[in-house]
Amino acid sequence: MTTPDVDVLVTRARAWLAEDPDEQTRAQLAELVAQVEDGAPAAAVADLADRFRGTLEFGTAGLRGALGAGPNRMNRVVVMRAAAGLASYLREQGAAAGSTVVIGYDARHKSDVFARDTGEVMSGAGLTPLLLPRPLPTPLLAFAIRELGAVAGVMVTASHNPPQDNGYKVYLGDGSQIVPPADAEIAARIAAVGALASVPRVPIGETGGRVLGEDIIDSYLDTVAGLAADGPRDLEVVYTPLHGVGGTSVVQVLETAGFSSPQVVEAQEQPDADFPTVAFPNPEEPGAMDLAIALAERSDADIVVANDPDADRCAAAVPGPDGWRMLRGDEVGALLASHLLQRGKRGTYATSIVSSSLLGKLAAAAGQDYVETLTGFKWIGRLPNLAFGYEEALGYCVDPEHVADKDGVSALLLLCEVAAEAKAAGRGLPDLLDDIAVEHGLHATDQVSVRVSDLGEITAAMARLRDAPPTALGGLAVLEAEDLSVGSAALPPTDGLRYRLADGARVIVRPSGTEPKLKCYLEVVVPVTDGDVDAARAAAAETLAAMKTDFAATAGI
């Protein structure tokens, strides 16, 4: 990157300092500016340039980025401008004066401050802010939007990002996350916001806004607990919220539904914005579940379940002949879908294009509709007549009538219900997965995820793949190479590539929407002969390993 003129950088930084209401970020930036003016090393100039080289882009994921001063960071100035732009958009779309906006937040650094600032800006714009009373799960915010008849909702969260990040997720009145063109229209309104001093801010109590009481929390938790049908409840559960906000909600829901209180990983039980026991607070990341699995091994548990920090995702691990293993998101999705189908839940069963194709076969066998969407619950959650939706990245929607988004609390409850029913029959979740494989073929999935420090590496890799698509991967011929950026009748355009391979296999490549990663999703389908699932699994593992090697060579990353 070419370093901008230092004088211009300092001028921008001083203008920012003049309007930043946050004492902490103001002090950090003032120190950095002083270092640069005193002839600081190139690293300090590069830091200042990175903070002021542009602004955090507002998109379908809202805002997400590292905390700190400057327009390219998450801070009070950026948040208040985003809130003002959102308020302007809502009024432009017909929201009447006094319309309610629900605001929730997780336990990350500054989340409560950003939520309060958002409420004051909404109040200043003539809308009525309703703040959730404490750090709570993201799905509770999605529930509250519908339950309270709000025109929109804001959740301050960075989900499972590293501790230095925070974010700002926007929902509209249907309880679903925003999709195009709303994202671009909101971004335009944010860009049109003038100086921060011109943004009216009014204490939330002066215009009818308020901090909500426990009623909305109890309503959500009772609704979730009511999803569990009568049945076996003998299940030893180990649970971790990974230092996030799911702990009290999950324990209450399980107990209300008739399960024994889970054993909670003590070191990860309380919300902690620094996430001290994990490198990344994401149950998908290696090591994140180690403490929970160790507790399960000591206590002879039947299942380990976990949420990510804002509790909209659910992870699980089960014991096996070779020790405990994590269930893949596609496996949990198949178990939940099969459970709901057996219950007779009718409607559309949906997943994203990067998830296993197995859901389509399960739905077809039960005579239910099946839909594939782009990646993201912003697409799944708004489908009409949705019965169940999931993504391989541990996101599941089991109660779309109440939460049109992924919900790690309700998914966790139903997975425990499935596990308890299996235990009562002398079986485990892996046995149920084997049953599905015998009937529909073994659908094995895997992922290659490459984290980069320079986003240009991802752009270059995608360009290489577009210029020279592979003709075979893992010994399977590529039957079709599809550039998803051009769109189709079924899918809007997105930056991605899809390869359809022989024998029902497929590969999808896309940049991550929330992290500096290039992701490759692989699936192979292997028939199960004479009930020998182990043989099918071994064959699938061999093919997936070969596909990984071939993809890495082709992408050059």
Which residue numbers are catalytic? 159
Q: How far apart are CA 458 and CA 469, in angstroms?
A: 16
Q: CA separation (Å) from 248 to 192, 214, 217, 241?
A: 41, 13, 11, 9
Q: How far apart are CA 429 and CA 307, in angstroms?
A: 19
DSSP letter for 445, please: E
Structure tokens at 110: 């500054």
C-alpha distances out from residue 73 to 63, 76, 114, 167, Å: 10, 10, 13, 10
CB 325 within 8 A of CB 346: no
DSSP assignment of 487-524 equals --SSS---S-EEEEEGGG-EEEEEE-SSSSEEEEEEEE
| Distance in angstroms (rounded) separating the CA atoms of residues 138 and 119 | 17
Sign of CA dihedral 271, 273, 277, 279: positive
Q: Cα 122 to the chain's mean position, in Å?
A: 25
Q: CA 139, CA 104: separation in Å to the nearest integer? A: 10
In one-letter notation, the amino acid at residue 103 is: I
Residue 532 amino acid letter? D
Count the residues in the chain: 557
Report DSSP letters for 229-260, one per residue: PS------EEEE-TTSS-HHHHHHHHHHTTPP
Q: Name the one residue in this structure whose structure tokens are 């270059």.
A: 460
The per-residue DSSP string of 57-125 comes to: PPBTTBEEEEBSSSTTSBSHHHHHHHHHHHHHHHHHTTPPTT-EEEEEE-SSTTHHHHHHHHHHHHHHT
Q: Taking a C-beta distance cutoff of 8 angstroms, is the pair 167, 157 a contact?
A: yes
Task: List the one residue out of 327, 321, 393 whose CA is nearest residue 355.
Answer: 393
* 506 bridge partner residues: 500, 523
CA angle 350, 352, 355 (to 5 degrees): 105
Q: What is the CA radius of gyration of the chain?
A: 24
Q: How far apart are CA 223 and CA 139, in angstroms?
A: 12
Q: Which CA distances in Å does 343 have to 329, 338, 340, 389, 406? A: 21, 9, 5, 16, 20
